[in-house]
Amino acid sequence: MGIEAKDFSLDLDLLAYSGIVFSPEQRAALQTSLVILKEQYKFKTIHLWGKILGITEDYYIIQGRQKDELKDRQFLYSLDCINWNMLTPPGDEAKELTPQCQGRFTGDPSHDFDVTKYTVSNEDTEEENIEEYKSQLREEERLAATLWKIEQDAIIIPRGSYVLQPNGNVERNRTFEGLTVTESGKLSNYFHFREPITLQQKSLIHRATLDKSLHFLDTIDEDVPKGWSVQYERGSGLVQIRSLKWPGMAFFHIPETNRYGSLYCGVGEENKDLPFML
């Protein structure tokens, strides 16, 4: 989701409740970069997406979107908030290797990680054998794959904030007036902002009852295990949703307004221990 350039500094303050803070220097630099990049790459909208904490340097991530905000997304990364590089979408191999990759991001895009991959054949039989191969993963590819995975798991939007247009594009709903206070506390009113997966598996009868222009994505309350923490801050004046699967992903929404957004600020590693921790 990210934070859109136009409400940049207002929205950034709201995510400080989740401990996500950018220094004044970074804020100023990012604001300048957002404007320039939007023009340069001809994006329809541009969002600050978050940062990934590395050992020597941090990666700042910006996302640009075209007409269809669900499909046409592009990532840019920078180490200093001024010089940006385009991130190529991850290949299948990178996607497969990233979850097995151990250790923190270093801050050097050309760093190579050694990844050991195990494949088990003939599982649960006597001939079970585990093959082991070693391969290498470049940090830049790992970054791309990690961002892709976070987008799959932890980017959310409030219900009704995006609409499926008759021409198939997914666009921001200009008449969205926010969820009510009660609605905003329920996970069923938030969608995963990715191509739907579980919705296709629902029965036709169930799908027929849904509003096709609004309910075209997966709701997050169906996630297993339930890796979300919903909290009201400032009484009920602000909703904060934090992902427990990707600690560092925080989402905010001010009920009854169209202000919402999310940022990721973390080490870029999935919390695989989640089932034990609830």
Among 22, 49, 190, 246, binds other proteins (CB under 8 A): 22
Count of residues of this chain found to bind other proteins when the rule CB under 8 A is applied: 43
Does 225 sit behind a cis peptide bond, omega within 30 degrees of 0 on the bond before it?
yes
Applying the rule CB under 8 A, the residues between 119 and 158 that interact with other proteins are none
DSSP 219: B
Distance CA(131)–CA(136), nearest Å, equals 17
Does 116 bind other proteins (CB under 8 A)? Our answer is no
Among 6, 35, 71, 80, binds other proteins (CB under 8 A): 80
The string of DSSP letters for 94-143 reads HHHHGGG--S---S-TT-EEEEEEEEEESTTSTT-EEEEEEEEEEHHHHH
Q: Is 38 exposed, middle or buried (0-12, 13-18, 19+ CB in 10 A)?
A: middle
Does 103 bind other proteins (CB under 8 A)? Our answer is yes
Span from 21-29, 85-93, 147-155, 189-197 in contact with other proteins (CB under 8 A): 21-29
Span from 33-41, 140-148, 193-201, 264-272 in contact with other proteins (CB under 8 A): 264-272
Does 273 bind other proteins (CB under 8 A)? Our answer is yes
Among 41, 45, 138, 181, binds other proteins (CB under 8 A): 181
Distance CA(117)–CA(101), nearest Å, equals 9
Cβ(189)–Cβ(253) below 8 Å: no
Does 16 bind other proteins (CB under 8 A)? Our answer is yes
CA distances from 202 to 12, 163, 213 (A): 37, 20, 17
Report the residue count for the chain. 278
Span from 32-40, 120-128, 135-143, 241-249 in contact with other proteins (CB under 8 A): 241-249
Sequence-separated (6 or more) residues with CB below 8 Å from residue 12: 3, 20, 22, 27, 48, 263
Binding mask 24-53 for other proteins (x = CB under 8 A): xxx--------------------------x
Name the site residues for other proteins (rule: CB under 8 A).
13, 16-19, 21-26, 53, 55-56, 58, 80, 102-104, 106, 166, 173-175, 181-182, 229, 231-232, 234-237, 242, 244, 247, 266-267, 272-273, 276-278
